[in-house]
Structure 1
Amino acid sequence: MPQSTVVAIAMLLMIAAIAESKSTIEPCANSDSCNALVGYTLYADLKVSEVAALFQIDPIALLTANSIDISYADVENHILPSQLFVKIPIICSCVDGIRKSVSTRYKTRPSDTLGSIADTVYGGLVSGEQIREANGNLVTDPSVLDVGMSLVVPLPCTCFNSSDNFLPAVYLSYVVREMDSLAGIASRYYTTVTDLMNVNAMGSVAVKAGDIISVPLPACASNFPRYASDFALLVPNGSYAITASHCVQCSCGPGNLNLYCTPASLAVSCSSMQCKNSNLMLGNVTAQPSSAGCNVTTCSYGGFVNGTIATTLSNFLQPRCPGEHQFPPLIAPPTTVTRDSMFAPAPAPSLSDGAGSKTPKSSFMPSSGSLPGISPANGPIGSTSDATSLVNPLSSFPTLAFLLLLLKLALLTAS
């Protein structure tokens, strides 16, 4: 074979390697974990419970993460439309020196291949080769899978100390689409191109379909004790989280980034949510004007400890009395796909007291004579991550292996 042909094949190999999709990887060295999100586009019409089962998460947690009203009857069986974009709440762990989520398992069905599971079912969040590596010797042929196999599906995620520019943040792993640009992604998620480039260690603004980038979302942080089961709870701005065995619902925004928790409306058996030495219930606030300002008393959530809902009664004086608390807007369970629902951006904090919903259907109505107000459960300010964000190629070994074989044959022929 002519030397020029060998050179051409080598160049094709280099181009293929460069063209592979990239994903932001965060190295780690300890066993801690964090709250994270992955962006997922439904490949078919699926019930809420089906989507939750794909990722082994609580259906109610899926709904609250996307600000979908959980007060609708039989909402877990609501059918979500194909191509709907949703944010999936996951736990991001440190595995083999990098951040990833390994709690998702998939049971194979007839006609499944590793490629179809990765590209279709999980929407490009993982590659077939990554699934193969995560399951060791369980998979011998990626194109022939036994029905009923339980496969670990490693999902991308990052923590970066749960902070962005020293403020609390939750990181969303976002799969870039054909129509996306870095500026467009930054605009949708209320951040800047510079911030995205810094987070993802990017040398240019170029992105292409299939790349997975980390998007920081402003969040409300908790200050629950370390021994609480929901320690380090983070709620992205403009959304909700369910905790304490479905008894407590916490929200973030839109007027500020202070975590605000109230009893959830779900019909479950819960421990007492009344603050000690008070007739105030969780989420209640009383305000008494005085010549010195406004005396405010709050009953706030202190974490879920040994099956008990901890509450904290606080009294403080502030210059003026708080207005009625504004909740993030809730949406009805989606039945159609619109541009907004395809991208589901996290709303930015609003400076207006008139933004947001005053009382979501799923929230607790305070008792007569009390006002909903701001929870004092302000989260600690985060710190920047010491880890380096690396944009590395995702595995696509079948293509590269084929080109390597061609190169080897070409070199043998040339010699």
Structure 2
Amino acid sequence: MANKNPIFLFFPTMLFLFNLPCITPKSTIEPCSTSDSCNSLLGYTLYTDLKVSEVASLFQIDPIYLLTANAIDISYPDVENHILPSQLFLKIPIICSCVDGIRKSVSTRYKTRPLDTLSLIADSIYGGLVSADQLREANSNSVSDPSLLDVGETLVVPLPCTCFNGTDNYLPAIYMSYVVRTVDTLSSIASRYSTTITDLMTVNAMGGPDIKDGDILAIPLSACPSDFPRYASDYALTVPNGSYAITAGHCVQCSCVSGSKNLYCMPASLAVSCSSMQCKNSNLMLGNITMQQSSAGCNVTSCNYGGFVNGTIITILSASLQPRCPGPQVFPPLIAPPTVVGPDSLFSPAPSPIQSAGPGATIPKTVVPSTGTVQGYPPANGPTGSFSGSNSGSPSLVNNFARIPLALVLAFFLYAVTSYSL
């Protein structure tokens, strides 16, 4: 009696498996209710050899911003045409906006090429930072047939980003959206970016430390914030540890050395005209510091950058008495434009340049072409949770079936047939 009609048990079982929820990579989202934006980063791995200018064009950013965000020396001849190697990991600076109540960047546009599909664009060209479903939803008015894209069609690419008030545990931070790879663990990611498993779990509202290939995590990177006035065009400029930013019409270069919270700005060596960078009532230029030891301590006078206002570089003369005189200014080390990728980077993103270059070094003179200014934005809202799935609704039955291991299906089938024959 027990084996009377066992084959009929096979079909309800398989029907149940077909309707299991589709497990898809999760991404951290940040609800928002304002039009404020912030500076953010994307962790991006090159899918092929690309020129610096081609990578910048892919995300519609200034090539110089791409280079300085990764502490790559911009003084190299014809650096914008330098070919970067496939599988190189880069930090891409983007503007994170509030769109339909969610933080994301929608300023990136992609022009389709022959043989392009939404999956190819999402998974390969943009390295999993966006999904095919998200591309389909963002371009629903122009993409009538997702399997057939017209050559030269312009697509909106909604990229993940978070602001979280520009802080992490009440300390200044800038957030990077990171695509998890097969070899990653939450512990290895935390170690690589000088944070903790607990912090990553809190920021991403995770119930446990388990992650999987394709998940997108928001990773807080320690940073140096600015205190420029709100009316400055580079208000709220924030520079991550170990990197640089160019601002004030490419006249000013600001840096953030690893482990520091103090933004240091100085003139950039440029072939463009800049407004005066001399502090009033002094002989000091922007970035200059004088020190005089006395019995009471060290008298320190400095000429600091105060923001870019209506085309004018604001300088502020500051004087203070400190217990001891500070040492010489240290800068994040610059690296040469990469030509090869180390063996570790073939499987997981490489450490930031500051981690591999050792202690700080004096910055060499650089020549930066005039291509715009860095815009700073006010901080956004605090962290919330994460979600699973895509924005395009429930997955199809066919997609669920594709996720069931073939061996499991065969095992059920053989069991049913054998039981029935008995």
Does 2:30 align with 1:26?
Answer: yes
Check conservation: 1:57, 1:90, Cα contact below 8 A.
Answer: yes
Aligned twin of 1:400: 396
Aligned positions of 1:93-172 closer than 5 A: 93-172=97-176
Question: Which has the larger displacement, 289-298 or 226-235?
Answer: 289-298
The aligned residue for residue 359 of structure 1 is: 363
Residues 160-208 of structure 1: per-residue CA shift (max 9 Å, x gap): 1111000010011000001101001001001110110000010111111
1:9 equivalent among 15, 18, 25: 15
SS of 2:396 mapped into structure 1 = helix
Match of 1:72 in 2: 76
Are 1:323 and 2:319 matched, yes or no? no
Contact 1:254 1:326 in 2 (8 A): no
1:344 deviation in Å? 3.8
Aligned length: 382
Q: Is 1:254 aligned to residue 231 of structure 2? A: no
Superposed CA RMSD in Å reads 2.4
The one-letter code of the counterpart of 1:67 is: A
Normalised TM-score (structure 1): 0.87
AA aligned to 1:388 is: T
SS at match of 1:249: strand
Instruction: Provide the secondary structure at the position in 1 that maps to 2:265.
Output: strand
Deviations 1:59-97 (A, max 9, x none): 000000001011111111111001000000001111111
Alpha-carbon distance in structure 2 between the residues aligned to 1:189 and 1:197: 14
Equivalent residue number for residue 340 of structure 2: 336
Pairing 1:388–2:384 present? yes
Question: C-alpha displacement at 1:321, in angstroms?
Answer: 1.2
Structure 1 stretch displaced more, 162-171 or 262-271: 262-271
What is aligned with 2:351? 345
Q: Is the 8 A contact 1:189 1:347 kept in 2?
A: no
- In the alignment, is the contact (CA less than 8 A) between 2:70 and 2:353 conserved in 1? no
Is residue 2:238 matched to residue 1:242? no
- Partners in 2 of 1:235 and 1:261 — Cα distance? 11
Q: Where do residues 282-293 of structure 1 align in structure 2 (5 Å cutoff)? A: 282-293=286-297
Aligned to 2:185: 181
Match of 1:225 among 229, 240, 265: 229
3-state SS of the aligned residue for 2:209? coil
Q: Which amino acid aligns with 2:16?
A: A
Cα separation, 2, equivalents of 1:270 and 1:231: 19
Q: Distance in 1 between matches of 2:281 and 2:259?
A: 30
The amino acid that maps onto 1:402 is V
Higher mean C-alpha deviation, range 270-279 or range 177-186: 270-279
Matched to 1:30, the amino acid is T
2:137–2:391 CA contact under 8 A, matched in 1: no
Please tell me the residue identity of whatever aligns with 2:11. T
CA contact (8 A) 1:118 1:126 kept: yes
Alignment partner, residue 93 of structure 2: 89
Distance 2:244 2:122 in 1: 29
Hey, what's the Cα distance between the residues in 2 that align with 1:182 and 1:405?
A: 29
* 1:356-411 superposed Cα distances (whole Å, 9 cap, x missing partner): 012334399xxxxxxxxxxxxxxxxx99x5441223223587963535799xxxxx
Between the aligned partners of 2:259 and 2:8, the Cα distance in structure 1 is 69
TM-score normalized by structure 2?
A: 0.85
Greater CA deviation, 395-404 or 111-120? 395-404
Give the drift of 1:309.
1.0
Structure 1 gaps, min length 5: 365-381, 407-415
SS of the residue corresponding to residue 313 of structure 1 reads strand
Q: Distance in 2 between matches of 1:299 and 1:363?
A: 22
- Counterparts of 2:239 and 2:141, CA distance in 1: 38
Tell whether the 8 Å contact from 2:306 to 2:314 is kept in structure 1 after alignment: yes
Q: Which has the larger radius of gyration?
A: 2
Letter in 2 for 1:126: V
Distance 1:404 1:319 in 2: 67
Q: Percent identity?
A: 68
